[in-house]
Structure 1
Amino acid sequence: MTDYTGSEARDWARERLIGAINCTIPSFTNDLQRLNEAGIRHDVRLAIEHGFVGTLGVSEISITLPEYLEFLEIVKDEAGTDLVLTHHASWSNLEENIAAVRGAEAAGAELVLLSYPPNFYPESEQEIYDYTKAVCDATNLAVMIFPMFLWGFSSRIHPSDIPARLIRRMLDDIPNIAVIKAEGGAPSVMGTIEAHRKFGDEVVISCPIEGDLLTLGQLMPIQLSATSDHEFWGPTIPHAMRLLRAERFDEVTDLYWQMHPARKAKGAVAAQLHGGFFIDRQAWKFQGWLRGYNGGPLRLPTQRIHDPQMNQLRKGLIDSGFEPSMDPFREFFIGRNPA
């Protein structure tokens, strides 16, 4: 049970969601038959140590819904009240997403990241509205809507992916929409700026892209960076957000430039690996492993990561003055807590 009602979701988000939310990708036993509870708990403890305010339980991997809900229960049991458990509403169709969000609420989730299924092909704003409202109406949890190029809306609906006029309608009609993950029209920052200007007084505006966060955060208040593969940076993003809140902008700028070699390496690898309008969770899991997270095997179907990309990511961190794991790459595919 949450400590807020659906009608209180926006006030709860404004008060509770101050900081950064990373991603926790499920870990499996080495035979890939079961969840690796020790590996999951390891990642949760490290996220807390790194200063994250919450974590997204990633669902976009090969996992069944019952397994996923068990995974969320493990995360919640380990995190307690130290992390806002965020449900990844990324399942195959509306019916499955409704079942998933209800199960996630029962498992202890407090926030929902709303995605749209690969087979969802809306040809009108009304269809996007109807899908969004159906998921939101199925839960009392605060919901984070997500304008994003991955959904394919820009070619048919609007270049910003989800236009501001549709977001306005959603906010007026759906009280538990409490956050906008503002990536509309990426890589342009206009989606973030427009969301802040038009809706920032009503809901929390999240800036998940760290390069935009550290720049735009010097010009406008950004209280949340959620959700992203921030674990690649270890404790750096929570630290940067504390600096932004204190308006220590020279230090933020210095940190931005320090991170730049790793940022470029990460961007280059993403361009190589993130095909098919789908996030490469294998690469994200490796990025976390470089900073002490569990790593470990993922089931097929999964994308692959090879030595050139792994070397590039590790070298980027080294060139930025960080200390990534120097363990042999084979250890990533086993994990830090093999089971």
Structure 2
Amino acid sequence: MAGYTKSEARDWARERLVGAVNCTIPSFTNDLTAINESGIRHDIRLAKEHGFLGTLGVSEINITLEEYLDFLRIAVDEARGDLVVVHHASWSTLEQNIEAVRGAEAAGAELVLLSYPPNFYPQSEQDIYDYTKAVGDATGLAVIVFPMFLWGFNSRIHPSDIPARLIRRMIDDIPNVAVIKAEGGFPSIMGIVECHRLFGDEVVISCPIEGELLPLGQLMPIQLSATSDHEFWGPTIPHAMTLLREGRFDEVTELYWRMHPARKAKAAVAQQLNGGFFIDRQAWKFQGWLRGYNGGPLRLPTQRIHDPQMAMLRKGLIDSGFEPATDPFADFFIGRNPV
């Protein structure tokens, strides 16, 4: 259970959520019949070693709820209080998400990243509000509200995906809304600027995109970067956030430009692979494998990643002065802890 009450969620978030949260994609046995506990524990240990404050237990893959909750329990056990385990509220219906968030809370997750299902087609701001409030009401955990183009709200609700006036209602009426993952209107930076200006004194504003975090963090305080595929960068993002907090902006700028070749490679691969308004978790798992995370197979249906994209990502890291894994690409599909 979380170490705070629902009414304390915002104070807890302000105090606890300082740093970066990466993503942990569940690992499976090589015959894909079960989750791979050793691979999961490997990834949690490495996230701690890399300095992350927390990790998102990704649910947007082919996994049953029972398996997913077991995955969270393993992550919580291996975290041993050193990592905030974040539940990924990304299931097919509101009813499933309510069941999942209650199970995640019982499993020891401390924070919730709210998603909206592919078949959720709100026709008004009220529809989005009602869905968000239903999930918030179902749990005592702190909730991350996530304005994002993936949901499809921008074409009929508002260009910012979730308008500020609606976020205002959520903050006023849902006491455990504690974080805004401010990607509204992506790739525009206006979403995070607006959220910081309007809500930064009440809730934590997260900047998950490292290419925005490093520049904007020099102009306004950003205590949290959650959640994102920061594992691609190894320990770099936690280190960069320490530099930002200490005001060492010349070093942050030098780091930003050093990372630029890998940043461009990552963006190019995303353009090729992130189809259907859906994040390519196979690519993210490979990105982590390049920096020592488990890798391993995912079940169908899953996206694919081919040699040209894998080579591009590895070369980007090398060109940025990092030392990615040089193992054969075939080893990624087996994983570092095969079972």
Per the shorter chain, which TM-score range?
over 0.9
CA deviation after TM superposition for structure 1 residue 326, in Å: 0.2
CA drift of 1:3 comes to: 1.1
User: Secondary structure of the residue that 2:221 maps to in structure 1?
Assistant: coil
Q: Where does residue 241 of structure 1 map in the other structure?
A: 241
| Residue 2 in structure 1 maps to residue 2 in structure 2 | yes
Counterpart of 1:108 in structure 2 is 108
Q: Which residue of 1 aligns with 2:300?
A: 300
Residue 2 of structure 1 deviates from its aligned partner by 1.1
Q: What is residue 160 of structure 1 aligned with on the other side?
A: 160
Cα displacement string for residues 233-260 of structure 1 (whole angstroms, at most 9, x for unaligned residues): 0000000000000000000000000000
Q: Which residue identity is paired with 1:284?
A: W
Q: CA deviation at 1:279?
A: 0.3
| Rounded Cα–Cα distance in structure 2 between residues aligned with 1:2 and 1:277 | 32
- CA-to-partner distance for each residue in 1:117-148, whole Å, 9 max, x for gaps? 00000010000000000000000000000000
Aligned to 1:43: 43
- Secondary structure of residue in 1 paired with 2:85: strand
Partner of 2:92: 92
Letter of the aligned partner of 2:305 in structure 1? I
1:154 alignment partner, SS class: helix
Using the TM superposition, give the Cα deviation of residue 80 of structure 1 relative to its aligned residue in structure 2, in angstroms.
Answer: 1.3
TM-score (norm 1): 1.00
Partner of residue 194, structure 2: 194
Q: Structure 1, residues 32-90: CA drift from partner, whole Å, max 9, x if none? A: 00110000000000000000000000000000000000000000010011000100000
Amino acid at match of 2:46: L
Q: Deviations over 1:200-230 (max 9, x none)?
A: 0000000000000001000000000000000
Given residue 119 of structure 1, which amino acid in structure 2 is its aligned partner?
A: N
Q: Distance in 1 between matches of 2:298 and 2:210?
A: 26
Distance, in Å, in 2 between the alignment partners of 1:183 and 1:270 is: 16
Deviation (angstroms), 1:315:
0.1
1:182 aligns with 2:148: no
In structure 2, stretches of 5+ residues that fail to align are: none
In structure 1, give the amino acid aligned to 2:317.
Answer: L
User: Which letter does structure 1 place at the counterpart of 2:61?
Assistant: I
Specify the SS of the correspondent of 2:184.
coil
What TM-score, normalized by structure 2, do the two folds share? 1.00
- The 5-angstrom pairing of residues 1-339 of structure 1 reads 1-339=1-339
RMSD between superposed Cα atoms in Å = 0.3
Equivalent residues, number = 339
Rounded to whole Å, the distance in 2 between the matches of 1:154 and 1:286 is 30
Secondary structure at 1:147 match in 2? coil
